[in-house]
Amino acid sequence: MVMRAVLLYLVSTFPKVFDQPNGSKLELVWKGRQRVGPRKHPSLFSESIGVLMATSRRFDWTKNWELQDVGDKEWLWDNIKDKWELDETRKEPTLALTSGDEFRNKKSKWKRNFYTRYATYEKRISHRPEQLSQHEWVQLMEFWDTPEHKAISKRNRANRAKQIAKHAAGRISFPQFEEIMRLEAGAPPSLGDLFVRTHTSLQTLDALDDQSREYIIYNRVNDLESQLAEMQRVAQEKEEERQLEIEKIKPQAQEKDEQRRHEIDEMKRQLDAQDADMETRLMQKVANFAQMVSRWYVNMLSFLSMNVIFSL
């Protein structure tokens, strides 16, 4: 009867996980020991582990997760891997990290909603979490009523009060948020961008607290400085590439200059040769003309001399 009730609860609460065809399993994407996707599957994975814990009647909620029976943890692993794509490399992070966090979250939620909210034993006993049996709930309330637990609880409250920075990630882990942002932007986000996303209110679009605001401002200044440094680095690289290109083409330019000088010298030599040839021919013509004039003059003198002789 109890198992039937448990199965009905599982199917009605998480139909996507527990009401699947035989052999069908849900996928998980891992990054190291953390689950990061796809989308809501990491949260659904944790919640399905919590449901199995709470409804199995196997675990002692007055003890820490690390002190739970090894055989009960093995039972949890066998049941959860029937519904999820898990190999043995995921056993340790599932049982140590994910299950431990879910175990503590369950107890914290029950204490906040069904124990601390009410001041009397009668009120508390009448508002039992539906996942727990009457016996389990009485044991857990008696555990919370012990002086030892109250002292630990008081110390934990004081420590939480010192934690100034808050975040808006909820049950989504930071690695999972990082994967969501990577899928949205097509590239991994910087640590600064991840901090801004997880420490900014979706309603006000402002930082959740003063410490987060200071860090966001500091991070944005650092981002601007990083961008400026990157621009300077790129400019320096381009200048170095330009200088290398200049050094590369300089011999070619010098070779072309030398070739042009040779061409000019050759043209000058040819022009000088042409000038010398023209001058030689001109001098030859002048000499020929002088000879012609000289012969004409001699002939003219001879002619005149003959005329004088005949006239006598």
pLDDT means over runs of 10, the chain (312 residues): 45 55 79 77 87 91 93 94 90 91 91 92 92 92 92 81 62 68 75 73 70 71 74 88 86 84 88 85 85 83 76 67
Residues in the chain, total: 312
Q: How far from chain centre, in Å, is Cα 234?
A: 19
How many separate domains does the chain show? 1
User: Residue 71 falls within a domain, yes or no?
Assistant: yes
User: Residue 85 falls within a domain, yes or no?
Assistant: yes
**Res 162: pLDDT:** 66
**Res 1: pLDDT:** 42
User: Residue 130 falls within a domain, yes or no?
Assistant: yes
**Res 63: pLDDT:** 93
User: Residue 222 falls within a domain, yes or no?
Assistant: no
User: Residue 45 falls within a domain, yes or no?
Assistant: yes
User: Residue 15 falls within a domain, yes or no?
Assistant: yes
User: Residue 306 falls within a domain, yes or no?
Assistant: no
Domain that holds residue 15: 2-163
Tokens of 39: 């989308």
**Res 170: pLDDT:** 62
**Res 11: pLDDT:** 44
User: Residue 299 falls within a domain, yes or no?
Assistant: no
**Res 5: pLDDT:** 44
